[in-house]
Amino acid sequence: MSNQNNAVVAAAKAASEKWKAAFNAGDAAACAACYEETAVVIAKPFGTFTGRSEIEGLWAKVIGDGFGDVEYLEPEITAESETTALLTSRWQMNKAQGVVTRELWALQPDGSALLREDHFEALG
């Protein structure tokens, strides 16, 4: 793996941890700040959410409904290119579980990563 691929994977891993910490703190705005301005979330069975404002609304509702303590189980992060990394994982939280089928993290000019696409499913 090239150094650039190592960098995008490391940035995605750090950004994923930041998102999980924001969610577990109950901070929907901080969750939304982990996404690019034009990001898309496809959340089954909840719907499709485009842009930070809609995404913040999704997380505010989920957090407001008492969901928390998210944990990723056996996450896998792989470089898709020199500037993007793909994360897949099973997940669980206090009132649900499911699967992340596609978190596409994109490297930003400052070296951090933000979510460009987030596809997940709640299974119960």
* All domains in the chain, ordered by first residue: 3-122 (3.10.450.50)
**Per-residue pLDDT tens over the stretch 11-63:** 999 999 999 999 999 999 999 999 999 999 999 999 999 999 999 999 999 99
Contact criterion met (CB below 8 Å) for 15 and 84: no
- pTM above 0.85? yes
- Judge whether residue 3 has pLDDT over 80: no
4: pLDDT strictly greater than 80: no
Q: How far is CA 33 from CA 37, 82, 123, in A?
A: 8, 22, 26
Amino acid sitting at position 38:
T
**Residue from 79, 69, 119, 78 nearest 99 by CA:** 119
Question: Beta-carbon neighbour count of residue 51 at 10 Å?
Answer: 16
Assigned token pair, 56: 């913040």
Q: How far apart are CA 87 and CA 121, in angstroms?
A: 14
